[in-house]
Amino acid sequence: MAKWANALILDGGSDLLRTRAATTDRIKMHLIKAYTAGDSYSTVVTTNGLGSVSLVAGDIVQSTVSSNRVTTFGAKSITLTANSGASPDLHVAVVDSTTSEVLYVADETTDQVVTSGGTFNVPAFTWTVNQPT
């Protein structure tokens, strides 16, 4: 479930993500050890970052389910570059490394302790925009 979305994503939707992801190494998925709504790019990537992987346009798939628009982020494997500490509140952040913007943050529900050098598998997750009623 979404924790936070940048106004750019709320206005431009997943098309903005897919367009930017077409630029090599621009859009990245980070595993982070903590998140507060509105955290800066530096806080997300540098202070709380545990590892990242680049996304390409094909990692972001758009579909329609029961008249709602669904964006699916594909499963990714992240090589860890830092330790989470004893009680992490893990999240997955999608960032634009060119403009230094946090675009989307989702909760990661296992909140398991992770260590540098390991690998963390992020399962596919979705963001749904409901049809107005």
DSSP string, 20-59: HHTSTT-EEEEEES---TT--HHIIIIISEEEEEE--GGG
Q: What is the arithmetic mean of pLDDT over 79-91?
A: 97
Neighbours of 91 (CB within 10 A): 23
| pTM for the full predicted model | 0.93
Neighbours of 104 (CB within 10 A): 23
Q: Which domain holds residue 54?
A: 2-129
How many domains does the chain fold into? 1
pLDDT digit string, tens, across residues 93-107: 999 999 999 999 999
Give the H/E segment covering residue 106.
Answer: strand 101-107
Give yes or no for a contact between 122 and 29, defined as CB atoms under 8 angstroms apart.
yes
**How long, in residues, is the chain?**
133
Q: What is the arithmetic mean of pLDDT over 28-36?
A: 97
**pLDDT higher than 80, residue 1:** no
Task: In whole angstroms, give the CA distance from residue 52 to residue 76.
Answer: 10
- The pLDDT confidence band at residue 78, using thresholds 50, 70 and 90, is very high
Indicate the average pLDDT of the chain: 94
Count Cα neighbours of 103 within 13 Å in the Cβ-side half-sphere. 26
